[in-house]
Amino acid sequence: MILVGVLALVGAGLATLSITSDPEYDITFVNNSDANLCWYESKDYIGHEDLCGHVGPKQTKIYAGGPCNGTDRQPVLLTAGVSGDLIYNREATCAQWAAAVVTITGTARSLAVNDAIKELSPSPNKTMGAELGVQSEVVTAADHPVAMAFAPDGRLFFAEKFTGDVRIIGSDGKLLPEPFAHVDVANWLNLDWGLTGVALDPDFGTNHFVYLFYSEPVDSEPNRPIAKPKLIRFTEAANRGVDQTTISEDFPKTPLDHQGFRANGSIHFGPDGFLYATIGNYNYDPTTPPFTQDLSSPIGKILRIDKTDGSAPADNPFSSQPGKDARVFAYGFARASDFAFHPQSGRIYATDSTDNCEELNVVVPGGNHGGIPLGPDCSGGQQVVAIYFLAREGKNPGDFVSYVDVSGLAFASGQDYPRLGDSLLVCEADTGQMRRLILAGPDYMKVTSDDAVVNDCNLSIVAGPDGTVYYTNDKEIRRLVSVPGAQP
């Protein structure tokens, strides 16, 4: 690993950062109350995933610690040693960090670490939103809005992952003051657990059913929590959820000491009227035991179930096979990823990833999509072959930590966005990018274009009844608006 910079406390509360003068680097200072101070180098990956998350292409982020009162917690300084290992410096005091100044060698600029968000040397071609005829605007502030679903009348229901609240934006575009519903969720360090899925019944106009998928807390030690996926339904009445009903809780508990990871994921109704749900691998070792390959378990699967009671439809791929979970529609998925149905073919497009390979799959009923480590070129095994692999800018599929952790997928229409065109939009949790993928071929199985649209989409994405694309990040819901006069 090449050492490209060192961040260290020196003198009376000063922090100095020296980096190479590579023009590709963007240096961003972020005042983030949820993370301690850390630094990532985006090309060779220096950092600590659990502390601050990954940083995207051509971005190096420095996070200033949150509220620091001298007794609550002290900021942590992470620097890269010559071997690439992390060095934790806990000697910095709150007063030192409040006065810290970062100097960027080679740019002759400096500013306070705890300033508001600022950028030095931005890359003008980092995204192509303007060229693609779109711009982004804020709809409302929200707390980790991880899933969204539209009602036929234009109301937007969204799930807040860690609060357990479902909220509504009215058809007038205004956020309603009271939550639609609330569930108590299991959470560990704001990782994967929480309220992760919301879907409206295809017959919502008559039955007003709203479905939620979340991590239910299970009695356990406070520092070693256990959770269990649960699927429930509310009935909407005057913008409030009533008549809570359990649809299914027939899911395994998460294992001890694997708290926070890869349990319940997304839910969506398919064009066939059945409810589809993703379950991750619970953070088990991908090969021992190989739960993603075990057809008697829902772990590591996409499920297809009846919306009334969570049972398996008779035409599911494994319904007639003894010893297998009849709810399984497809298997071999490490992450509880999002998915989307193609508007013409009705086929499911879903992603999955190991540390090195982020797949875009067209899901095959009964198909084995892997969920285990692949070779250095992202090949190997007998699994269904992905149609495309996504990777961070500057890396190739198969490179270590090249994955981008896709968090949401949605199809956009060229009728609504002439320059964007008919495309699959994917949002990446680790880079924050929304990428536009153009699908071609008679079965839409080939990706012919891959462009970054915006840099602030790391959670959910959905197209509304009028075709407008809404997307989310940790703090807000936004939407893409066509630039006036944009033509193909």
CB 62 within 8 A of CB 29: yes
Work out the average pLDDT over 278-298.
86
Taking all residues of the chain, what is their mean pLDDT, rounded to a whole number?
A: 77
- Say if residues 134 and 471 touch (Cβ distance below 8 Å): no
CA dist 38 to 88, 111, 224, Å?
A: 10, 17, 26
pLDDT digits (tens, 9 = 90+) for 369-420: 987 767 777 876 678 999 999 998 888 888 888 889 999 999 999 999 999 9
- Tell me the C-alpha distance between 406 and 387, whole Å: 15
Average pLDDT, stretch 34-62?
30
What mean pLDDT is predicted for residues 36-42? 32
E strand segments, 125-281: 134-141, 145-150, 156-160, 165-169, 181-182, 195-200, 209-221, 224-237, 240-248, 264-269, 275-279
Query: So what's the pLDDT on residue 229?
Result: 98
Structural domains in the chain, CATH included, are 5-120 (no CATH), 134-482 (2.120.10.30)
pLDDT-derived band at 94 (thresholds 50, 70, 90) equals: very low
The pLDDT, as a whole number, for residue 395 is 87
What's the whole-model pTM score?
A: 0.76
What percentage of the chain carries pLDDT values higher than 90?
59
**Considering only 39-48, 316-325, 397-406, which range has the smallest mean pLDDT?**
39-48
336-346 residue pLDDT tens:
889 999 999 99
Tell me the C-alpha distance between 26 and 13, whole Å: 24
H helix intervals, 43-132: 49-52, 94-98
Q: Please write the tens of the pLDDT for every residue from 216-263.
A: 999 888 889 999 999 999 999 999 999 999 999 999 999 988 888 999
